């Protein structure tokens, strides 16, 4: 029989530990007397003390480490602090600082949680899954570390991303932290620096690929679905060549989605819905040129086509409004060896090898950066967009900040304050000619927490594309006229829990109407979702 948790083991368990907030009665009952200083603090005071320490340093990586160590000590306080200071702390647990943490992962490593599944475990993955302490897991974010943000192959350092995404699931949408599991698949790394770093914690050999790779992924997915049958699996930061293939294999078999392809599409389509609302036009009026034709850009293109079809265009008319520019230049029909997905957007125009030439050829109304090419939206590019359009849409969505196509200040300055702007990583407000612009993040973090909440609440069996369009519309519904007047295409992060709940509601309605939900519709869906959401409160 399991021993009741008491004494120092209580303090070592982050899910029950309340530290200096344990009441007199709890200290007595849990045999904690003498193990804590005598004064009893409220959670508000504990949070105040923690934030004082966080604000003492300007080093964001140190802030990250402080938060990570709190997460390992006292998860209730961690989420209390994160929820109450989301605008200040999201850039630490998420982009851009999480990118630095992943790069330095082996050098700042202290504690572990989550699951590491390596190629050496092939044939025994179920045993590893059975070692996980959680009885119930509702949601998994899994990466293999090969395309971490725009930073490339960071091997097992990529574990920082599933941890960060799951922190946002809880903070933004109230997914219970004990029912989530970050997972890192380790098949080696092709990063030369990691291959020779004596502190690197993953397998120090080149990545294993081919059948062995897909067999390991299959074994992992079947093992977690066997132990936790309804678990939702979010694929995150896989390299392009695996991301599309894994989604194709699994999307009709298990509850899963790829955040970089589908979550990014949802937030970007929402950005277009909000921007065109500000202009008094429609998404289907836009002519959109993507810098990048990878996971994110193709995911966005495909969902934009669905959004334009919903506005009355045919599929071909919608595709005709979308242009792609990749590492080889503008995607044109005369190019050899175009993948099927890219070929759908190839145009019968002369090839262009510079982005500026592509702008002069295409004359887009909107440009979207998803190629991790820092500075690609330079003064010439932005100036051309300002010359061609009264209100150009400029989305610099690559992460982290060091990979952004332009800064918010550059976008507003070179378009004389006329652009409608969104960024992947945060930028502070920009003052220009007496007006303050408040740029907000076109980042999948606005949608995946609400999508997860809606899908989990309704026990959705699959996550079809309609979910991402429903989430895009829902997100735009939360943008106020005041937001738009300030240049914000997304709502304030201080509202993120009600925003996520609203997205979850629309997603849940979609799941219920389309027959993928496995529950009956509750009398009051909003109240039911609110009730379902975890709130960081001490038990006693
Ligand atoms: N804001 C958000 O929510 C999200 C942002 N991203 C960001 O988007 C970026 C790309 O991610 P993925 O699409 O997953 O990567 P990917 O590897 O699938 O695609 C990258 C694309 O960029 C193109 N490219 C590379 N160098 C180029 C150059 N010099 N000029 C033009 N195109 C070039 C490649 O040909 C490829 O089409 C990353 O920085 C990532 O952080 C990704 C997902 C979500
Ligand atoms: C935001 C995100 O998922 C990425 O940059 O990969
Ligand atoms: Mg990602």
In angstroms, the CA 230 to CA 324 distance is 37
**pLDDT confidence band for 520 (50 / 70 / 90):** very high
pLDDT, tens digit (0-9, with 9 covering 90-100), for 447-491: 999 999 999 999 999 999 999 999 999 999 999 999 999 999 999
Cβ-based neighbour number of residue 206 at 10 Å: 13
Tell me, what's the pLDDT at 399? 97
The position carrying tokens 């605008």 is 87
Instruction: Kindly list the protein residues that place their beta carbon closer than 5 angstroms to ligand 3, a single-atom ion.
Output: 237, 260
The two structure tokens encoding residue 321: 């409004």
> Half-sphere exposure of residue 423, counting CA atoms within 13 Å on the CB side?
30
- Per the CB < 8 A criterion, the answer to whether 474 and 502 are in contact is yes
DSSP 256-294: EEEIIIIIHHHHHHHHHHHHHHHHT--GGG--EEEE--S
Give the residue, out of 141, 443, 490, with the most ligand 2 atoms within 8 A of its beta carbon, to mutate for a pocket test: 443
Give the residue, by CA position, lying nearest to ligand 2 atom 6: 149
- Per the CB < 8 A criterion, the answer to whether 10 and 16 are in contact is yes
**pLDDT-wise least confident of 3-12, 81-90, 335-344:** 3-12
Q: Which ligand is nearest to the CA of 397?
A: 1
Q: Which atom of ligand 2 is nearest to the CA of 148?
A: 6
pLDDT, tens digit (0-9, with 9 covering 90-100), for 381-407: 999 999 999 999 999 999 999 999 999
Give the burial class of 4: count Cβ atoms within 10 A of its Cβ; 0-12 exposed, 13-18 middle, 19 or more buried.
exposed
DSSP 8-state assignment for residue 347:
B
> Half-sphere exposure of residue 530, counting CA atoms within 13 Å on the CB side?
7
- Per the CB < 8 A criterion, the answer to whether 450 and 266 are in contact is no
Phi first, then psi, for residue 33 (nearest 5°) are -60, 130
In angstroms, the CA 299 to CA 293 distance is 9
In angstroms, the CA 403 to CA 369 distance is 10
Show the domains of the chain with their CATH numbers.
97-254 (3.40.50.10380), 261-540 (3.40.50.720)
pLDDT, tens digit (0-9, with 9 covering 90-100), for 407-419: 999 999 999 999 9
**pLDDT confidence band for 540 (50 / 70 / 90):** low
Q: Is-catalytic flag, 100?
A: no
The two structure tokens encoding residue 72: 């390992």
pLDDT, tens digit (0-9, with 9 covering 90-100), for 70-105: 999 999 999 999 999 999 999 999 999 999 999 999
Angle, alpha carbons 290-421-261 (nearest 5°) = 40
- Per the CB < 8 A criterion, the answer to whether 272 and 284 are in contact is no
Biggest CA–CA distance in the chain, Å, is 79
In angstroms, the CA 394 to CA 408 distance is 10
Give the residue, out of 234, 236, 258, 292, with the most ligand 1 atoms within 8 A of its beta carbon, to mutate for a pocket test: 292
Q: Is-catalytic flag, 63?
A: no
Q: What is the mean pLDDT of residues 330-337?
A: 96
Binding residues: 147, 236-237, 260, 399, 443
Kindly tell me if the per-residue pLDDT of 511 is higher than 70. yes
Give the residue, by CA position, lying nearest to ligand 1 atom 18: 294
Kindly tell me if the per-residue pLDDT of 494 is higher than 80. yes
The position carrying tokens 């949601």 is 139
DSSP 454-480: HHHHTT-S---HHHHHHHHHHHHHT--
3-class SS letters over 9-61: HHHCCCCCCCHHHCCHHHHHHCCCCCCCCCCCCCHHHHHHHHHHHHHHCCCHH
pLDDT, tens digit (0-9, with 9 covering 90-100), for 134-187: 999 999 999 999 999 999 999 999 999 999 999 999 999 999 999 999 999 999
Dihedral class, residue 351 (left if φ above 0, else alpha if ψ from -120 to 50, else beta): beta
Angle, alpha carbons 381-421-260 (nearest 5°) = 95
pTM over 0.90: yes
In angstroms, the CA 496 to CA 446 distance is 8
In angstroms, the CA 231 to CA 431 distance is 46
The two structure tokens encoding residue 510: 């979609």
Beta bridge mates, 369: 291, 396
pLDDT, tens digit (0-9, with 9 covering 90-100), for 196-253: 999 999 999 999 999 999 999 999 999 999 999 999 999 999 999 999 999 999 999 9
Kindly tell me if the per-residue pLDDT of 1 is higher than 60. no
Tell me, what's the pLDDT at 2? 62
Q: What is the mean pLDDT of residues 358-379?
A: 98
Give the residue, by CA position, lying nearest to ligand 1 atom 5: 398
In angstroms, the CA 9 to CA 6 distance is 6
């Amino acid at each position: 029989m399991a021993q009741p948790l008491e004494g120092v083991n209580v303090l070592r368990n982050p899910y029950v530990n309340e530290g200096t907030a344990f009441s007199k009665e709890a200290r007595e009952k849990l045999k904690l007397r003498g193990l804590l200083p005598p004064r009893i603090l409220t959670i508000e005071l504990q949070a105040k003390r923690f934030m004082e320490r966080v604000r003492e340093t300007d080093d964001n990586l140190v802030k990250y480490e402080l938060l990570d160590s709190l997460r390992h000590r006292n998860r209730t306080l961690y989420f209390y602090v994160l929820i109450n200071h989301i605008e200040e702390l999201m850039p630490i647990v998420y982009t851009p600082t999480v990118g630095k943490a992943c790069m330095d992962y082996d050098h700042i490593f202290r504690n572990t949680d989550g699951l590491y599944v390596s190629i050496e475990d092939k044939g025994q993955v179920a045993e590893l899954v059975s070692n996980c302490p959680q009885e119930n897991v509702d949601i998994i974010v899994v990466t293999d570390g090969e395309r971490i943000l725009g930073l490339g192959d960071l091997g097992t350092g990529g574990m920082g991303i599933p941890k960060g995404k799951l922190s946002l699931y809880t903070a933004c949408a109230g997914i219970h932290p004990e029912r989530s599991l970050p997972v890192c698949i380790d098949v080696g790394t092709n990063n030369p620096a990691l291959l020779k770093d004596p502190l690197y914690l993953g397998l120090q050999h080149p990545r294993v690929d081919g059948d062995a790779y897909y067999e390991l992924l299959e074994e992992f997915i079947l093992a977690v679905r066997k132990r936790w049958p309804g678990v939702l699996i979010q694929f995150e930061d896989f390299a392009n060549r695996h991301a599309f293939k894994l989604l194709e294999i699994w999307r009709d078999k298990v509850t899963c989605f790829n955040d970089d392809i589908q979550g990014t599409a949802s937030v970007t389509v929402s950005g277009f819905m909000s921007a065109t609302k500000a202009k008094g036009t429609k998404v289907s009026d836009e002519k959109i040129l993507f810098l990048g034709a990878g996971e994110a850009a193709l995911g966005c293109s495909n969902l934009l086509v669905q959004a334009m079809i919903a506005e009355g265009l045919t599929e071909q008319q919608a595709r005709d409004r979308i242009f792609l520019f990749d590492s080889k230049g503008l995607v044109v029909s005369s190019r050899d060896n175009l993948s099927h997905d890219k070929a759908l957007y190839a145009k019968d125009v002369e090839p262009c090898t510079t982005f500026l030439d592509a702008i002069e050829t295409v004359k887009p109304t909107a440009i979207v950066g998803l190629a991790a090419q820092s500075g690609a939206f330079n003064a010439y590019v932005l100036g051309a967009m300002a010359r061609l359009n009264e209100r150009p849409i400029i989305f610099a969505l690559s992460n982290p900040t060091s990979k952004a196509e332009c800064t918010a200040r550059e976008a507003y300055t070179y378009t004389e304050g006329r652009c409608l702007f969104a960024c992947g990583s945060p930028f502070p407000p920009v003052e220009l000619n007496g007006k303050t612009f408040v740029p907000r993040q076109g980042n999948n973090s606005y949608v995946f927490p609400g999508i997860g909440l809606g899908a989990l609440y309704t026990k959705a069996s699959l996550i079809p594309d309609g979910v991402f369009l429903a989430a895009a519309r829902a997100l735009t519904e939360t943008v106020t006229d005041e937001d738009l007047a300030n240049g914000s295409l997304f709502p304030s992060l201080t509202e993120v829990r009600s925003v996520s709940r609203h997205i979850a509601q629309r997603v849940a309605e979609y799941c219920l109407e389309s027959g993928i939900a496995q529950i009956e519709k509750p009398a009051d869906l909003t109240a039911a979702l609110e009730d379902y959401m975890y709130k960081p409160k001490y038990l006693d």
